[in-house]
């Protein structure tokens, strides 16, 4: 290096400039690469409902990949790393993969999906956010599932306490939050660090549920821009017996009552997955939860081939999808389904969610398309039929 410097009379300041420019350009390229390149895996196993083989091309990492695997596969599955690719080259490189796959599930931010040059996709939000209006309407209070929760609260004499005591927060974090999230979500669990949750707790509140003078459950009530958010739920030791005793219903009911008494008109119920059968999302629904926002993280779903496994996956995993910034619902029926007004009403009851622009019922082809009049008049504004173009 010294010889080169001496031979070409390179000044030290010029060398530093060249070196720093090189480092700067490398960092810019690295940042660009991290933004527009994704890792791909092939995941293989038996689809959980049809019990037939399925192979998917997946770009999700860590907890997200584990979560998707629970939706797709019956039990065990295998995965192999394919490589790292530019978004705009995914289709070209995917065609070179020797193993046939029937479905793509790519985890991509909304702002970057325009670089993914592929058609016939659904953009499923990784997370949706919603609120519960206060006070609860009479129609919500009359729901049998909610009445069941309230009976459990009364039967087990559950009460609540609101505190800002850091020692009680420590007990909540280590003995309620962590074990409950771990037991409920296994490898797909997102567990925030103690330091992160402790900082969130500063200036906010912890609502604890008591049974026989023992704290059995808790949740944080965080105030963001002056509005309450029900966050970070936990059940002591992740014990299902406490859930059976009504602990979860008590967390929701007492949090809603407490914030209502403080004259709030709504409470955010935090984040939920974008799949309409998701247990958390379904549970919130009975409390009058309505969707107000879809997150920028997106699962791009593309069906590559029509197989019993891909059809079974669609039929058993209705979801929310993003179309030009608006949330829609997608429910899939097979060609053997007897489409009646009773079925449409049941689909509406199970899967239409307040906040959705519309719920689409997808059929394999035009041949299965029923008479539009099968949709009850009162539901005609919220439900429509569509066909799966990629099956035709």
Count of beta carbons in the 10 Å neighbourhood of residue 39: 15
- Catalogue all structural domains in the chain, each as residue range(s) with its CATH number: 1-126 (no CATH), 128-294 (3.40.630.30)
**pLDDT of 32 over the 50 cut:** no
Q: Which of the four pLDDT bands, split at 50, 70 and 90, describes residue 390? A: low
**pLDDT of 38 over the 70 cut:** yes
Compute the mean pLDDT over every residue in the chain, rounded to the nearest whole number: 87
Higher-pLDDT residue of 121, 172: 172
**pLDDT of 371 over the 70 cut:** yes
Write the burial class of residue 63 (CB in 10 Å: 0-12 exposed, 13-18 middle, 19+ buried).
middle
Say which residue the tokens 């999230």 belong to.
181
Q: CA end-to-end span of the chain, whole Å? A: 65
C-alpha closest to that of 221 among 256, 246, 191, 194: 256
41-63 tens-digit pLDDT? 999 999 999 999 999 999 988 88
pLDDT, position 27: 57
279-333 tens-digit pLDDT? 999 999 999 999 999 887 889 999 988 899 999 999 999 999 998 889 999 999 9
Count of beta carbons in the 10 Å neighbourhood of residue 354: 12
Torsion of CA 2, 3, 4, 6, to 10 degrees: 80
Q: Contact, 119 vs 304, CB < 8 A?
A: no
pTM for the full predicted model:
0.86
| DSSP state at residue 136 | P
């Amino acid at each position: 290096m010294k010889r080169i410097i001496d031979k070409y009379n390179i000044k030290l300041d010029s060398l530093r400039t060249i070196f720093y420019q090189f480092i700067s350009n490398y960092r810019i390229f690295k940042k660009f690469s991290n933004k527009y390149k994704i890792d791909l895996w092939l995941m293989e196993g038996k689809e959980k409902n049809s019990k037939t083989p399925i192979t998917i091309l997946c770009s999700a990492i860590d907890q997200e990949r584990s979560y998707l695997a629970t939706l797709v596969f019956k039990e065990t599955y295998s995965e192999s790393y394919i490589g790292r690719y530019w978004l705009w080259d995914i289709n070209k490189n995917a065609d070179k993969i020797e193993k046939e796959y029937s479905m793509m599930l790519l985890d991509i931010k909304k702002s970057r999906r325009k670089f993914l040059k592929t058609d016939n996709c659904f953009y499923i939000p990784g997370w949706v956010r919603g609120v519960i209006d206060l006070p609860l309407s009479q129609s919500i209070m009359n729901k049998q599932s909610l009445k069941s929760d309230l009976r459990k609260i009364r039967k087990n004499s559950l009460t609540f306490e609101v505190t800002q005591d850091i020692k009680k927060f420590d007990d909540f974090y280590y003995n309620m939050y962590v074990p409950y999230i771990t037991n409920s979500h296994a490898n797909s669990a997102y567990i925030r660090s103690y330091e992160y949750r402790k900082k969130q707790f500063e200036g906010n509140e912890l609502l604890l549920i008591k049974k026989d003078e023992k704290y059995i459950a808790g949740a944080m009530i965080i105030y963001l821009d002056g509005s309450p958010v029900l966050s970070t739920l936990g059940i002591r030791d992740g014990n299902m017996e406490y859930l059976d005793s009504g602990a979860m219903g008590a967390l929701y009911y007492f949090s809603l009552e407490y914030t209502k008494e403080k004259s709030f008109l709504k409470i955010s119920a935090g984040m939920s997955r974008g799949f309409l059968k998701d247990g958390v999302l379904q549970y919130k629904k009975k409390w009058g939860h309505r969707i107000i926002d879809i997150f920028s993280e997106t699962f791009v779903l593309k069906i590559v081939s029509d197989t019993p496994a891909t059809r079974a996956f669609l039929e058993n995993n209705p979801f929310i999808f993003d179309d030009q910034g608006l949330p829609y619902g997608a429910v899939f029926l097979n060609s053997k389904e007897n489409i009646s007004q009773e079925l449409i009403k049941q689909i509406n009851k199970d899967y239409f969610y307040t906040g959705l622009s519309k719920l689409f019922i997808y059929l394999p082809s035009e041949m299965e398309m029923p008479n539009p009049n099968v949709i009850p008049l009162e539901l005609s504004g919220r439900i429509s039929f569509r066909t799966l173009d990629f099956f035709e």
